[in-house]
Amino acid sequence: MAEGEFALVRQHLEVALSKSATWVGEHDLYAMLADAAAQQRDEAALRQYAPLAEEAAARYDHKLYQAVAHRAWGVAHRLAGRSAYAEAEARLNQALELFRGLDTRWQIGRTLFELGELAAARGEAAVAREQLSLALTAFEEMKAAPDAARARAALEAG
């Protein structure tokens, strides 16, 4: 998605929440809103939508959306700062385990990237490099060029 389009994701999804549609449920929209907030690093939106996504995913026992909610919480905890890093790591590892169980390679790569970002925030350069390298490899195997470029940039910055 282009950057200009991505900036409008939350707005469009919130409008969709207020409309009745038979092909999409609130659990779908909450997962997308939490995921968009994580990608945008929007802590306020994460605090708003991660709990809703988590509750809806649990209600439907939707493993993919449970993993998305865990990752969103992981990002929220990382953004909250040093005191929440342990919670961030626990949530990101829960997400990674679920994504691996579902064999969702792109989601695995995105979660490895977030674990790399967390390690970098903790000042653990070697761990950050390892996680980001694993994410980069995953993205390159899938030819997910924008994500590979982001991982490469994070590696170069670290």
22-35 pLDDT per residue, tens: 556 889 999 999 99
pTM, two decimal places: 0.89
Asked whether residue 137 carries a pLDDT value surpassing 60, the answer given is: yes
Q: What does the buried/exposed string (b/e) look like for 63-77 if buried means 16 or more CB atoms within 10 Å of the residue's CB?
A: eebbbbbbbbbbbbb
Whether 11 contacts 37, CB under 8 Å: no
Q: How many distinct structural domains can be found in the chain?
A: 2
Q: Is the model's pLDDT at 114 over the cut of 50?
A: yes
Query: Using CA atoms, how far apart are residues 100 and 110, in angstroms rounded to an integer?
Result: 12
Instruction: Identify the domain containing residue 74 by its residue range.
Output: 1-87
CB atoms within 10 A of CB 18: 6
If asked whether residues 5 and 78 sit together in one domain, one would say yes
- 149 domain residue, yes or no: yes
Q: Are residues 135 and 77 in the same domain?
A: no
Whole-number pLDDT of residue 1 = 41
Q: What's the rounded Cα separation, in Å, for the pair 52 and 138? A: 29
